Amino acid sequence: MSSILDRFEEKEGDISLDPEKYLTFLVDNQYYAFPIKDVREIIEIQHITQIPEFPSYAKGIIDLRNNVVPVIDVRLRFYKPEIDYTERTCIIVLDIKNIQVGFIVDTVDEVIDISKDNISSAPAITTDRSTRFIEGIGRVNSKIIMILNALKMLNEEDLEAFEFMNNK
């Protein structure tokens, strides 16, 4: 696992907060990305404490350096089948409205530049319920990458509950 994380430990200044930089990852063999400016860190999967009455896609909480961080399984949020976690499974910790939230993904891929010219609008009509989380579709070489809006992956109740946890 450490070799995966080592790829993302860049020297200071190597990764700017350029809005065209994205962290790509895989869920169910599909490429997705979060803007790098929202990514706080990438950690390996760890013990998750379950919380009663959490939404089914929210696996629970983790203790990250004495901070309680809620964790969402992206597969479950996208209505995909649940799978066992492996040594490649990672948690991407994002800052969403000053709240740390972890997103469990199958594996992290790379940090890439996607120019605005290579990003098109998300499809307006589809039968896949997960498309409401997609902000755009990026194309890099032969890769199609769904660019996610992390805020849309949380509903208002999630935000309130996570904010309450964060302020404790």
What is the per-residue pLDDT across 64-78, written as a single tens digit (0 to 9) for each?
999 999 999 999 999
What ranges do the domains of the chain cover? 2-166
Residue 67 corresponds to which amino acid? N
Q: What is the CA radius of gyration of the chain?
A: 15
Can you give the pLDDT at residue 8? 53
CATH of 2-166, one of 2.30.36.70, 3.40.140.10, 3.40.50.300, 2.40.50.180: 2.40.50.180
Q: How confident is the model at residue 166 (pLDDT cuts 50, 70, 90)?
A: low
- 108: its two tokens: 């992290």
User: CB–CB of 41/157 below 8 Å?
Assistant: no
Show the tokens assigned to 138.
């990026």
Please report which confidence band the pLDDT of residue 11 belongs to, taking 50, 70 and 90 as the band edges: very low
Structure tokens at 1: 């696992």
Average pLDDT, the chain: 85
- Report the distance separating Cα 98 and Cα 105, nearest Å: 21
pTM score: 0.83
pLDDT of residue 59 exceeding 80, the answer is yes
Given this model, what pLDDT does residue 2 score? 46
